[in-house]
């Protein structure tokens, strides 16, 4: 099969399209023919940190068709259309085929394309766990999404509205129309206005992008408010890990989300997608051979929503 393999000694290109051996499923695994896979910040950050999958193949968010099943597989059959998050299973999504435990995957609704399904797993589950679990967002609360234009941010805006919050979103000028179209009640262009220096209070702040002082977020929290850090610069994440517990000694809390790949959450979100209640945003789609270009584009930090790799082109089904 064809796969994009990481070669740490590659000059100048470290991600190379190669022919590699097609995997065989173990007794509890399924073999999935990948139709689409999306790119995440976790892919290039893992490369930078030297955290390389055993087989050298990155890519976590996949959608495809079950081609073979192990002898102990009970919930999936050959021909099932599925999606899943491989981040805890060795990755392997930038390829034509992948094997993983059957518990990794959920059934893809027939009305959702493979490209749209691949845009969902990691970003949407991260947003859901930030909004619902860490943020504990309730109807009527004032929620600030700091960084609404990327994969997690676009899902966070919509999920906060799903939970009937009043949403204020911060993004760059380019993403203002997109963020409004996703249902945000108020949209702030950070190049024109600094929301953290205004006299406004929020019950929950979801920080997706940025590198601001933690005290600035805390300053605009209401009593009993919560800051949930889900992204941003590496330095900001480290500061949250170190100083978050200290700054949370009062009634206002600052915490870092460590998102988990849970099939129950994935089933919940893909159902919302199929019902049209959540709309994955896809900035652009690349063929498998241009995976390196897709990752480099995402690293620039200007992608609107998700960047998807179309391994085998399916009929387009994009929300507008």
Which CATH number characterizes residue 221's domain?
Answer: 3.40.50.720
Q: What is the pLDDT of residue 316?
A: 39
Residue 73, domain CATH: 3.90.180.10
Q: What is the pLDDT of residue 49?
A: 85
Q: Are residues 157 and 239 in the same domain?
A: yes
Asked which of 151-155, 189-193, 207-211 is least confident by mean pLDDT, the reply is: 207-211
Q: Are residues 224 and 305 in the same domain?
A: no
* Position 315 pLDDT exceeds 50: no
Q: Are residues 47 and 88 in the same domain?
A: yes
Q: Are residues 115 and 149 in the same domain?
A: no
In a domain, 166, yes or no: yes
Reported confidence tier of residue 278, pLDDT bands at 50, 70, 90: very high
Highest mean pLDDT (candidates 51-55, 92-96, 258-262): 92-96
Q: What is the 3-state secondary structure (H, E, C) of the chain?
A: CEEEEECCCCCCCCEEEEECCCCCCCCCEEEEEEEEEEECHHHHHHHHCCCCCCCCCCCCEEEEEEEEECCCCCCCCCCCEEEEECCCCCCCCCECEEEEEHHHEEECCCCCCHHHHHCCHHHHHHHHHHHHHHCCCCCCCEEEEECCCEHHHHHHHHHHHHCCCEEEEEECHHHHHHHHHCCCCEEEECCCCCHHHCCCCEEEEEECCCCCCHHHHHHCEEEEEEEEECCCCHHHHHHHHHHHHHHCCCCCEEEECCCCCCHHHHHHHHHHHHCCCCCCCEEEEEEHHHHHHHHHHHHCCCCCEEEEEECCCCCCCCCC
Q: Are residues 108 and 169 in the same domain?
A: no
Q: Are residues 154 and 221 in the same domain?
A: yes
Q: What is the mean pLDDT of residues 175-200?
A: 95
Q: Are residues 115 and 131 in the same domain?
A: no
* Position 204 pLDDT exceeds 80: yes
The pTM of the full predicted model, rounded to 2 decimals, is 0.92
C-alpha to C-alpha distance for 3 and 16, rounded to whole angstroms: 8
In a domain, 11, yes or no: yes
In a domain, 6, yes or no: yes
* Position 113 pLDDT exceeds 50: yes
Q: How many domains are contained in the chain?
A: 2
Reported confidence tier of residue 244, pLDDT bands at 50, 70, 90: confident
Asked if 184 and 145 count as a contact pair (C-beta separation under 8 A), the reply is yes
Q: What is the pLDDT of residue 234?
A: 75
Q: What is the pLDDT of residue 236?
A: 79
Q: Are residues 142 and 240 in the same domain?
A: yes
- According to DSSP, the β-strands at 253-256 and 221-229 are parallel
In a domain, 99, yes or no: yes
Q: What is the mean pLDDT of residues 37-57?
A: 92
pLDDT-above-90 percentage for the chain: 83
Q: What is the pLDDT of residue 162?
A: 98
In a domain, 142, yes or no: yes
In a domain, 318, yes or no: no
Q: Are residues 214 and 105 in the same domain?
A: no
Mean pLDDT, rounded, of the chain: 93
Q: What is the pLDDT of residue 249?
A: 86
In a domain, 269, yes or no: no
In a domain, 316, yes or no: no
* Position 9 pLDDT exceeds 80: no
Q: What is the pLDDT of residue 12?
A: 61
49 versus 216: the higher-pLDDT residue is 216
Q: Are residues 23 and 55 in the same domain?
A: yes
Q: Which residues constitute the domain of residue 16?
A: 2-120+280-310
pLDDT-above-70 percentage for the chain: 96
Q: Are residues 138 and 95 in the same domain?
A: no
Q: What is the pLDDT of residue 163?
A: 98
Q: Are residues 251 and 155 in the same domain?
A: yes
């Amino acid at each position: 099969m064809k796969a994009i393999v990481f070669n740490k000694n590659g000059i100048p290109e470290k991600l190379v399209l190669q022919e590699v051996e097609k995997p065989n499923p173990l007794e509890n695994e399924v073999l999935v023919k990948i139709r689409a896979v999306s790119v995440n910040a976790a892919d290039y950050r893992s490369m930078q940190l030297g955290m390389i999958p055993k087989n050298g193949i990155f890519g976590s968010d996949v959608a495809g068709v079950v081609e073979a099943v192990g002898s102990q597989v009970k919930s999936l059959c050959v021909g099932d259309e599925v999606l899943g998050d491989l981040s805890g299973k060795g990755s392997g999504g930038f390829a034509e085929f992948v094997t993983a435990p059957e518990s990794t995957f959920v059934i893809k609704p027939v009305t959702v394309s493979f490209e749209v399904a691949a845009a969902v797993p990691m970003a949407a589950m991260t947003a859901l766990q930030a909004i619902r679990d860490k943020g504990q967002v309730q109807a009527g609360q004032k929620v600030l999404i700091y960084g609404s234009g990327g994969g997690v941010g676009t899902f966070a805006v919509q999920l906060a509205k799903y939970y009937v919050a009043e949403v204020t979103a911060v993004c760059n000028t380019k993403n203002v129309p997109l963020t409004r179209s996703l249902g945000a009640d108020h949209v702030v262009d950070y190049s024109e206005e600094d929301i953290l220096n205004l006299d406004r209070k929020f019950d929950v702040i979801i920080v997706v992008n940025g590198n601001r002082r933690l005290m600035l977020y805390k300053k605009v929290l209401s009593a009993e408010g919560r800051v949930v850090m889900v992204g941003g610069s590496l330095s900001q994440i480290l500061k949250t890990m170190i100083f978050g517990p200290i700054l949370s000694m009062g009634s206002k809390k600052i915490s870092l989300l460590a998102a988990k790949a849970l099939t129950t959450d994935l089933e919940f979100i893909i159902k919302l997608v199929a019902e049209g209640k959540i709309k994955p945003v896809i900035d652009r789609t690349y063929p498998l051979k241009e995976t390196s270009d897709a990752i480099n584009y995402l690293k620039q930090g200007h992608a609107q929503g998700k960047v998807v790799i179309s391994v085998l082109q399916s009929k387009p089904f994009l929300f507008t």
